[in-house]
């Protein structure tokens, strides 16, 4: 009976020692399963002086925290950035984060008729580029 107990104890110790500290309660880069979903503007044609609704849902499909986000609006022709928010990308929101904002598509804000613009929504983990996911949407001002 003592031999059986000793065998079980040694086996249990061997199993516990075989795990490295990184394997315990630490998500791997692939565990975040991040997605950014641009709900608006969805490729619609806009007019100069329109109010552009920016509506983005950031989420982790495995219920991890949303650590960092960024939403940019830039020209598809020369990559000039017209919108780049939030100022602080770190949000640490559980499971999902819904981002809403508006921008006036006016000449005074740098927008022009006949040009195409890209809205880009990015999400990533603790470190820039870690488990990063993004979505882009393009629209034209007529």
Long-range residue pairs from 18-21, CB within 8 A, at least 24 positions apart, any chain: none
Give the predicted TM-score (pTM) of the model: 0.76
Q: Does domain 30-140 have CATH number 1.10.287.70?
A: no
Query: Taking residues 5-10, what's their average pLDDT?
Result: 52
Using DSSP's 3-state secondary structure scheme, residue 27 falls into coil
Measured distance CA(117)–CA(129) in Å, rounded: 24
Which residue shows structure tokens 């880069």?
Answer: 29
- Per domain, the residue ranges of the chain are 30-140
> What percent of the chain is helix, strand and coil (3-state, nearest 5)?
20, 45, 35
Measured distance CA(114)–CA(48) in Å, rounded: 10
Band the pLDDT of 63: cuts 50, 70, 90: confident
């Amino acid at each position: 009976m003592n031999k059986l107990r000793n065998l079980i104890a040694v086996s249990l110790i061997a199993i516990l020692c075989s795990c490295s500290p990184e394997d315990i309660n630490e998500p791997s880069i692939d565990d975040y399963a991040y997605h950014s979903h641009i709900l608006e503007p969805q490729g619609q044609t806009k007019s100069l002086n329109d109010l552009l609704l920016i509506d983005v849902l950031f989420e982790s499909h495995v219920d991890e925290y949303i650590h960092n986000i960024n939403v940019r609006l830039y020209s598809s022709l020369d990559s000039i950035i017209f919108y780049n928010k939030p100022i602080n990308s770190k949000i640490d929101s559980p499971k999902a984060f819904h981002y809403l904002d508006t921008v006036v598509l006016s000449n005074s804000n740098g927008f022009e008729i006949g040009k195409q613009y890209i809205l880009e929504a990015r999400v990533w983990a603790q470190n820039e580029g870690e488990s990063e996911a993004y979505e882009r949407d393009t629209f034209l001002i007529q």
